[in-house]
Structure 1
Amino acid sequence: MKDNKHFSKEKQLVQTREQAEIALGILVQNSQGEDLEIGIFRLRDQLNNPKLSKLLDNYPNLIQEYELEELLAGNIDFKNASTQDVKTAGLLSCILLLIHFYFNDKSNNRVESKFETDELDNFNSAQYIINATTSEECINELFLLILSIVGIDYFKKYQENMKDPDFVLKQTLGFDSDPDMDVHIDMMVWFALVRLFIEAIFIYYESDYETKNDQL
């Protein structure tokens, strides 16, 4: 995956474990897990790529057969799918799994009969993903996918409008609504949320891993 100066480590919204916990706490409190997952499937649908959809359907089997690093690099041969298709399937699958692992753990924490084995399995699986890539790579690749849908002109206009702190609220409520911006506004709002989640979850699991090692 390629680096992108817009999403470098230095420009992350989340920089510390404390910030990660706050960000993730807000997402859990607002029940954003389902919204994050739905956004992945909406992105898949808008990409309108049957080979990508087939790869995603087969990903549970592929991840058993290949190393995750190979899948994320697109280094497998799957029914004439392109390298980019394989990389995209890997990216979307990993994000979906991280969403599932984290929000599933938090859901289990709300009930008395907490399944510690499931929690450990989720932690180890999440750690496997985080060791195979970086938050910057995930966000950059995701951004390029979204850019391929919304277009550069739309994105530039969106960035300009975002200088108004009430822009998203106005669009949502229909005040001073710009029909051109309405087309992809939901996707851009979702991207902001999933970017926050990715940055936070990588720091959360990385620091959690260090804590667990210190306790050994």
Structure 2
Amino acid sequence: MALHILVQNSQKEDLELGIFRLRDQLNNPQLTELLESYPDLIQEYPLEKLLSGKIAINNASEQDVKTAGLLSCLLLLIHFYFDFDNGNLPQSKADDLNQFDSIKYIVNAITSEECIHELFLLVLSVIGIDYFEKYQEKIKDPDFVLKQTIGFDNDPEMDEHIDMMVWFALARLFIESIFIYYHRSYESKNNQP
């Protein structure tokens, strides 16, 4: 219930689309190729190694392997949460356990802080430090919510990357919610006699 409340305004498609937009804006064919082959890679290598990037794969850079791991994990978390929450997955105890084990596997492979930090660095590489500093300055304004509601149409400088910043805020909320919920669930399941 608590996780549903925290992410109730988010949409699966918005989160997924943001990941693919980020991938496209990074404009890295090697990263795209790694993301497409990730289902095979995750069966071949431990997730922790993939997330560290310290695996030689098709001459890919360590950062590309790490980024592909992060984005793939986010896509899986989105899939598991929203499909389960919307009743799209079969409802049996075995399915619940498999879903929980898959999420637990991801949550135990990386911390929410590492996940958010790495995602922020990717977003920052797209939007640039100058834009981020201007964005930070704008959100200090107490009327920011009203101005955001009206839109940044009159401020082309801010309009350029606002979708990416809004997506990052949504993704961060989702990541924190998933990690809080599943760490708590894991601990409470292990503490039962």
TM-score by length of 2: 0.92
| Equivalent of residue 27 in structure 1, options 7, 21, 24 | 7
Q: Deviations over 1:23-74 (max 9, x none)?
A: x42423x352221111111100110100000000000000000000110011
Which contiguous aligned blocks of 4+ residues in structure 1 show a shift greater than 4 angstroms? none
1:117 aligned counterpart, secondary structure: helix
Map of 1:71 onto structure 2: 50
Q: Percent identity, please.
A: 67
Under a length normalisation based on structure 1, what TM-score does the superposition of the two structures give?
A: 0.82
Q: Residue 167 of structure 2 is aligned with which of 190, 198, 202?
A: 190
SS state of the match for residue 215, structure 1? coil
The answer as to whether partners of 1:171 and 1:182 remain within 8 angstroms in 2 is no
Residue 201 (structure 1) aligns with: 178
- Give me the whole-angstrom Cα distance separating, in 1, the residues matched to 2:180 and 2:172: 13
Distance 1:140 1:64, change over 3 A: same
The RMSD of aligned alpha carbons is 2.1
Structure 1 residue 204: deviation in Å? Answer: 0.5
Q: Which moved more, 1:141-150 or 1:172-181?
A: 172-181
Assess, with a 3 A threshold, how the Cα gap between structure 1 residues 165 and 192 changes in structure 2: closer, same or farther.
farther
Cα deviations by residue, 1:184-207 (Å, 9 ceiling, x for unpaired): 000000101111111111111011
Q: Where do 5+ consecutive residues of structure 2 fail to align?
A: none
Aligned residues: 193
Q: Does the C-alpha gap of structure 1 residues 186 and 213 become closer, same or farther in structure 2, counting only changes over 3 Å?
A: same
Q: Find the partner of 1:56 among 21, 35, 42.
A: 35
8 Å CA contact retained: 1:130, 1:202: yes
Aligned to 1:93: 72
